[in-house]
C-alpha cells in the first residue's frame, strides 16, 4: 500500500451533474497529480497541484478543476458530467514538486448514466 487514499471508491452520477472526488496524499508528500483512466487504457494526466496551486495541466476542458489544501490533500471537481467521463480517477502523490516518483491511490470508479 502506498498510503495514498481516495474517496469515494465508487460513484454513480447522471449526465449534467457535478462530482467531487477526494485524495489524501502519502505522509510527507506535498504534490498531488490527477489522472483519468478509461477502461482498457493507460492513465491520462489531468493536472497537478503543488503548494496549493495548479502546476501543469493535460488536455482536459475547464469543467475539470481542482484544489489542494494546506495539509496537501486534494479534490478533483468535474462539472456538467458527460457519459465519456465514466472512468477510474486516480490520484498520485509525490515529494517536492514534479521530479520525484508518483505513487498512486486505489482510484475512484465513476459511472455517468
Partner 1 sequence: GESVGLHLPTLSVQEGDNSIINCAYSNSASDYFIWYKQESGKGPQFIIDIRSNMDKRQGQRVTVLLNKTVKHLSLQIAATQPGDSAVYFCAERAAAGNKLTFGGGTRVLVKP
Binder of partner 1 out of 90, 93, 110, 112 (CB under 8 A): 90
Figure out which of the listed residues 13, 20, 45, 75 binds partner 1, where binding follows CB under 8 A: 45
Q: Using the rule CB under 8 A, is 60 a contact of partner 1?
A: no
d(CA 35, CA 50): 15
Residues near partner 1 (CB under 8 A): 2, 4, 33, 35, 38-45, 48, 55-56, 58, 90, 92, 97-99, 101-107
Amino acid at each position: 500500500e502506498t498510503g495514498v487514499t481516495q474517496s469515494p471508491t465508487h460513484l454513480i452520477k447522471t449526465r449534467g451533474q457535478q462530482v467531487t472526488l477526494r485524495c489524501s496524499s502519502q505522509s510527507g508528500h506535498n504534490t498531488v497529480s490527477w489522472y483519468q483512466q478509461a477502461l482498457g487504457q493507460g492513465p491520462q494526466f489531468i493536472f497537478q497541484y503543488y503548494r496549493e496551486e495548479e502546476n501543469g495541466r493535460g488536455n482536459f476542458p475547464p469543467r475539470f478543476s481542482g484544489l489542494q489544501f494546506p495539509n496537501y490533500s486534494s479534490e478533483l471537481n468535474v462539472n456538467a458530467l458527460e457519459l465519456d467521463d465514466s472512468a477510474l480517477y486516480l490520484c498520485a502523490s509525490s515529494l517536492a514538486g514534479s521530479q520525484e516518483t508518483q505513487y498512486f491511490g486505489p482510484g475512484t470508479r465513476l459511472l455517468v448514466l
